[in-house]
Structures are given as structure tokens and as C-alpha cells.
Amino acid sequence: MTIFYNIIAFLGGLAMFLYGMRVMGDGLKNSSGGAMREALARVTNKPYMGFILGMLVACIIQSSTATIVIAVGLVGAGFLTFHQSIGIVLGANVGTAITAQIIRLMDVSSGMDSPLYFFKADNLAPLALVIGITMIMFIKTSASKTAGSVACGFGILFMGLIYMSNVVSGFGESLSNLLTAFENNYFLGFLSGILVTGVVQSSSAVVGIIQSIASSVGVTFSAVFAVIIGVNIGDCVTTYLVSSIGAKPNQKRTAVVHIVYNVFAALLCFLIIFVGRTSGIIDDDWWNKVLNSGGVANIHGFFRLVPAVALLPLTGLFERITCSLVKEERIDDEDKNAIAALDALDERLFNTPALALEQVDRVVWEMSEIACHNFDAAVKQIYDYDPKRNQRIEARENLLDSMTDAANKYIVSLSPHVRLYRDTKRQNYTLKSLICYERIGDLAKNIANEVEELKSSGKEFSPTAMQELRIAFDAIYEILDITARAYRTKSSSLAAKVEPLEEVIDDLVEELNARHVYRMVNNLCDAFKGIQFQTILTNIEHISDKCSDIAVYILERDNNEIFGQEHSYIHELHINNDDEYKNNYNKKHDKYFKAIEAISMVSAPIDDDKDEDKDNGKSGKADMKDIKKVKTDSKVPSKSKEKSEKKTKEKSGNDNLVILI
């Protein structure tokens, strides 16, 4: 039973570790990632700079595993690319050797006199948790909550590592015997180093065990060199196991390149030993020399530093090998064009801003397609629910976020090169349009989330509610289509049709809300489903608002008076009763409200009051007279100045976003 409980404890530590890495990664994503991403990119674009960064971090926290895990988290959060992480991996291998140098100066069980003792995981983990929970619970600002999440994730991650290490700490004597049992069999000594490090999950701890043996009884160079080389391999196997669970391909590659590099480093170390031994550089006196704690630390440092410096120029080779071992995830056919559009964001086009903006336009076109696909998938979940479809919705949402980040960074970086007024205008409306489409994707995801919550509760909308939603969805399909075609063709005539349809959708949402309130009041629908229904309608209305924003941005291309005055333009459009606007409004109003009128409002009560209602003369059928009358006349509904101003303030949240050149 002891083994069983040890396994449970070990898995519990692993769960803490993985959860901590996820919390820390989510916190980093929610932080002001632009500045951090740029800073890391500057440091890590050159392998030797990443090497220095990784070495410094590993020196401070005294763990190459933790350093590489952090790098894996940064890759997953989008702050680093796989290419940029390779230098950090190589540097972390060298930095972790600092622990052995500290141990040589003190007893293995002590070390509080060292300034670096503060940075041990045992001390950093609880401190990070205290700081994190303080920022979350007591400061309560958005920035503090994000920073607190990162700190808590960091603390949980290290607590998991500590917990796993404590589980295997009771096997120290057996592990020590295993490390020195193969003095004359270098291959088995190499394997024992891999095995013990894989169990203990810390190369520093294993080297510390060897140092303690060296301090007490002494060990020879020939007995431990193969073990120390094996320790380096075992260290990266541990990193891979804890970093690859549920990871994306680039995250797995960061963990795998650690193994690839250490295999090359191990071969190089054995080659150095072989050449040194056969050439006489390593003579019998050195070969059989009894090492103390410092000697073990020096060998460990040598086997870490020399291969790293020698192999640093080969980072490109390691990258190619790793990419061949860890294949990219299969790209969905509908995502291929989006990825191609992102690849076309080439900074070499900055000297021709108009051409560079064409590439951003291409990204926005693809975003419009993805956002529409996600809305369509969310609608399908209502009428034909499939849990697997939620995974695709989530993948599209993540792609939209990535495209927004990449395009936004590209546009801002382009700013110093923009000189012409027309390019400045185009830059602004392109930036605001891509943000609108990213928001449309969020709203579609919100609808899918509401449907998922409804399904998980075992409830469904009534047939009447489903029919009403279908009409609202059809209106959104139409406005999304018109907006996308207007953006692609830069057609002002198409863009002018969006705002009237948006007003019809507002009226439609208001009408459907009134009908659903009637159903709830008369027990034809329960409150839970009513809230879900109204939340979906709210998201529908907001999607149409974003389409209206995009249409106004398109119109301002041909009308300088709109640029910077979008709110005023929408307000005037609502109150001036423009003939074209009125005709478009009436046409769409008749189309969708006649469809609403055609729906039979038959809906049974949801509980046992049905029989009582019959006895009281109620049929359970909604009385249309009790519902707010549907607007059917051909005149555009008049809007007071106050209402118009309110609507225009609620819309176009990005209208004031202007890039200053």
C-alpha cells in the first residue's frame, strides 16, 4: 500500500505542477503582453542572447527544469517562438551547474548563509503564493489580478516540483548505492545517471548526492564521469514529461530540443573523454584521482559549459531535427488561407506602406471568414448540438486572437513609415476593423458558451423560441455577408445598407425580448431558459453593432467628413430620414417582422399548472394582444435625439482609436 500512496502523492504533485504552469501561462496571456513579447524577442532573436538569458535565470532559481518549463509556458502563451526558446534551453543547462558550485562550499543539508539560498524553490514557492494571493484578494485592480495569477501559477508550479521531490526523497540511500555501483561499467553508470535523475527530477539534487558521497568516502573520476553525463540526459527526460502533457507542438518542440541537444552534448563529452584518454591527456593519475565535492562540481560544470559553447552555433540543426521529430498539427483546410495571410505580413514591405496595408487587409478578410464560420457553428449548436464542435469553435477563437495580435503589431510597427494622409486613414480603419472582427468572434463564442450551459443543464428552448431565434440569426447572417462583401470590395453602396439592417436587428431583438418576457411571466418558459435566450439576443445585437462600425469605417474612405466623426455621422443618419436609408430600413423591416408574425405562439406551460390553467379557462396559448405590438407600418420609426445619442454612444467603441504618426 505504501507504493500505492506514493504513486498518488507523486501524481498529485504532477497535477499541481501542470496546473501551476497553466495558471501562469493564462496570466501571462492576460497581461500587457505586447511590451513583454517585444522585450523577449529582442533578447532571444540571437541564440547567444537567449543562451545568456537562460543561464542567468537557471543560476537564480537553480533549476534548469524550471527554467525550461517557464520557456515552454512562454512559448505556449505566444511570448516566444520555438526558435527563440532554443538559446534559453542551452543556457539553462549551463546555469543549473551553479548549484553544485554552491554545494561545494557548504554542507549538503545547509546553505542558509548563501545569498542565493533565497532563490531556492522551497523559499520562492510560498513567497510567490503569498504575493499572488495578496494581489488578487486585497489590491483588486485588473493589473494586480493578472500579476497575482502569474505569481500564484509560479508558486503552484514550484510546490508541485517540491512535492514530487519529497515523495522520492525517502529512497536516497538506495539511489546513492545505484549511482556508484558501476565503477567499471561506463554504459551502466551512464544509464544509472539517467534513471536516478528521472526519478528524483533534479540534476542538481543527483549531483548533490554524488558530492555528498565524495565528501564522505571519496569517488574516482572514472567512477562518476559517465554517471554525470547520464544525469544531464535524465534531467531533460524529466523536463519533457512534465512539459509535454497537453502541450501544443511548439511547446513540445521546446522540450524535445532539450533532449536533442543533450544527446549531442553527451556524445561530445564521451568523445572528449575518449580522445583525452587515448592521447594521454587524461593519464592514469587523473583517471583514478579521488574527487572531493569541489572536484565533482567542476566536472559537472565542465560537462555543462563546454558542450553548450561548442554546440551553440548548431542551434539551426537542432531546430530542424526537432521539427522533423515533432510534426505540426494538421491544419484545418479553412485555416490554411489565414495562416498564409499571416505569413505575408513581411516587414520588408514597410518601405511601401500601401502594399503593407494590403497584406493587413488580407488578414482582415480571413478574419471575417473565420468569425462568420464561428457564428455559424454557434448557431448549429442550438439546432444540432455536437460537443466536438465546441473544440473547433475554441480553435477558431484562438486563431482570431493570434491574427489580431500579429496584425495589430504589424500595423503599429508600420506607423513610422506612413507619410501620406490616405495611408493614415487606411491604417486607422484597418486596425479598427480587425478589432471589430475579433470582437465578433468573441460574441460568437459567447453564444456557443450559452448553448453549452443550456445543454449541460438538460434544458432546451421551446419550439417557438427556436423559430424566433432562427429569424434573428438569419438577419445576422445577412448583415455579416453584406459587411464582409463591402469590406472586400470597398463598396460604399454595400456599406450604406448595413446601418438600416442593424436598426432592424435592434428592433427585432427588442421585439423578441418582449415576447420571451411574456412567455416567462405566463409560465410558458422557465427563468433559466429565459436568461439564456436574452443573453443570446444581446450577443446578436452586439454583432450587428460591430458590423455597423465596420460599415462606417468603409464609408469614411470616400467621405472625409466622417473620418473622426463616426458618432455624429450615425446620429445624423438616424434622425434625418434619408430616403435611401428609409427605403433600406423598410424593406428589411417588412422581411423579418412578417416572418415573426407568421410564427404560431403555441407553447405549453412547463409545470403542473397546465391542468389548472385549463380549468381556469386558459389554453396555455399566448395572447398576442398582451405582447408589445409588432411594428408593421412602412414609416421608419421616429427616434428622439436622446435615444439616438444613447445608441451611437453604445456603438463604435473603437471609433476614437487614431494612430498618431
Would the pLDDT of 564 be above 70?
no
Span 226-283, pLDDT tens digits? 888 888 888 777 677 766 666 678 788 888 888 899 899 999 999 988 898 888 888 8
Q: How much is the average pLDDT of 161-182?
A: 59
**Separation CA 503–CA 577 (nearest Å):** 13
Alpha-carbon separation of residue 298 from 110, 163, 292 (angstroms): 20, 29, 10
Query: Is the pLDDT confidence value at 161 over 80?
Result: no
pLDDT of residue 89: 86
pTM of the shown model: 0.54
Backbone angles phi, psi at 181, to 5 degrees: -85, -10
Cβ neighbours of residue 427 under 8 Å, at least 6 residues apart?
Answer: 353, 357, 411, 414, 415, 418, 659
- Rounded distance between C-alpha atoms, residue 627 and residue 385, angstroms: 31
Report how far residue 420's alpha carbon sits from residue 430's, in angstroms, rounded to the nearest whole number: 15
379 has a pLDDT exceeding 90:
yes
pLDDT mean over 507-527: 81
- Confidence at residue 371, expressed as pLDDT on a 0 to 100 scale: 93
What is the distance between the alpha carbons of residues 380 and 385, in angstroms, rounded to a whole number? 7
Q: Distance between CA atoms of 255 and 68, rounded to whole angstroms?
A: 7
The answer on pLDDT for 446 being more than 90 is yes
Mean pLDDT of 38-55: 71
- Whole-angstrom CA distances from 363 to 349, 402, 437, 510 are 15, 11, 11, 34
Q: Band of the pLDDT at 112, cuts 50, 70, 90?
A: low
- CB burial string 58-96: b at 16+ within 10 A, e below: bbebbbbbbbbbbbbbbbbbbbbbbbbbbbbbbbbbbbb
pLDDT at 443 over 80: yes
Give 375 or 558, the one with higher predicted confidence: 375
Domain residue ranges in the chain: 2-325, 352-603
pLDDT digits (tens, 9 = 90+) for 270-289: 998 889 888 888 888 888 88
Burial of 357 (0-12, 13-18, 19+ CB in 10 A): buried
Do the Cβ atoms of 523 and 606 come closer than 8 Å? yes
- CA-CA distance, 361 to 484, in Å (whole number)? 12
* CB within 8 Å of 216: residues ≥ 6 apart: none
Residue 347 has pLDDT above 50, yes or no: yes
- 593 with 630: CB under 8 angstroms? yes
CATH number of 352-603: 1.20.58.220
* Residue predicted with more confidence, 2 or 579: 579
In the predicted model, is pLDDT for residue 547 greater than 90? yes
Q: How confident is the model at residue 388 (pLDDT cuts 50, 70, 90)?
A: confident
Long-range contacts of 172-176 (CB under 8 A, 24+ apart): 172/209, 175/199, 175/200, 175/206, 175/209, 176/209, 176/212, 176/213
pLDDT(199) > 50: yes
Name the residue with higher pLDDT: 336 or 314: 314
Find, among 417, 541, 398, the residue nearest to 473 by Cα: 541
Query: What is the average pLDDT across 572-593?
Result: 83
Cell of 135: 494581489
Whole-number pLDDT of residue 368: 92
Taking Cα atoms as reference points, which of 294, 295, 300, 292 lies closest to residue 269? 300
Give the whole-number percent of the chain exceeding pLDDT 90. 15
Between helix 353-383 and helix 421-456 the angle, nearest 10°, is 20
More confident residue, 555 or 116: 555
State the virtual CA torsion across 240, 242, 245, 248 in degrees, nearest 10: -60
Helices (H), 31-141: 33-44, 47-61, 64-76, 82-95, 98-103, 121-134
The answer on pLDDT for 643 being more than 50 is no
How many residues are listed for the chain in this entry? Answer: 661
Tens of pLDDT, residue by residue over 590-632, are: 999 988 888 754 433 333 333 333 333 333 334 444 444 333 3
With cut-offs at 50, 70 and 90, classify the pLDDT of residue 372: very high
pLDDT band for 517, please (50, 70, 90 cuts).
Answer: confident
* Rounded Cα distance, 621 and 613, in Å: 10
- For the chain, the maximum distance between any two Cα atoms, rounded to a whole number of angstroms, is 109
What is the pLDDT, as a whole number, of residue 32? 42
pLDDT value of residue 550: 92
Contact 190, 260 (CB under 8 A): no
Mean pLDDT for 560-566 is: 67
Greatest mean pLDDT range, 114-118, 130-134, 339-343, 422-426: 130-134
Q: What is the pLDDT of residue 565?
A: 63
Q: What is the pLDDT of residue 33?
A: 44
535 pLDDT higher than 80: yes
Query: Residue 655 — very low, low, confident or very high, per pLDDT cuts 50/70/90?
Result: very low
CB–CB of 152/129 below 8 Å? yes
Average pLDDT of 627-646? 39
Q: 492-503: per-residue pLDDT in tens?
A: 889 989 989 999
Q: How far apart are CA 401 and CA 407, in angstroms?
A: 10
Quick check: 258 and 68 in contact, CB under 8 A?
A: yes
pLDDT, averaged across the chain = 76
* 61/636: higher pLDDT: 61
Burial class (CB in 10 A: 0-12, 13-18, 19+), 519: buried
The Cα 534–Cα 514 span in angstroms is: 10
Position 38 scores a pLDDT of 53
* DSSP state at residue 290: E
Which range, 126-130, 341-345, 587-591, is most confident?
587-591
In one-letter notation, the amino acid at residue 302 is: F
Sign of CA dihedral 315, 317, 321, 327: positive
Q: Rounded distance, CA 37 to CA 445, Å?
A: 26
CB atoms within 10 A of CB 333: 7
Residue 78 has pLDDT above 70, yes or no: no
Choose among 381, 432, 427, 374: nearest CA to 400: 374
Q: Which of 66-70, 578-582, 641-645, 654-658: highest mean pLDDT?
A: 578-582
Instruction: Give CA–CA dist 554/559, Å, rounded.
Output: 9
CA atoms of 415 and 178, how far apart (whole Å): 63
CB atoms within 10 A of CB 23: 21
Q: How far apart are CA 471 and CA 476, in angstroms?
A: 9
- The H or E element spanning position 445 is helix 421-456
With cut-offs at 50, 70 and 90, classify the pLDDT of residue 175: low
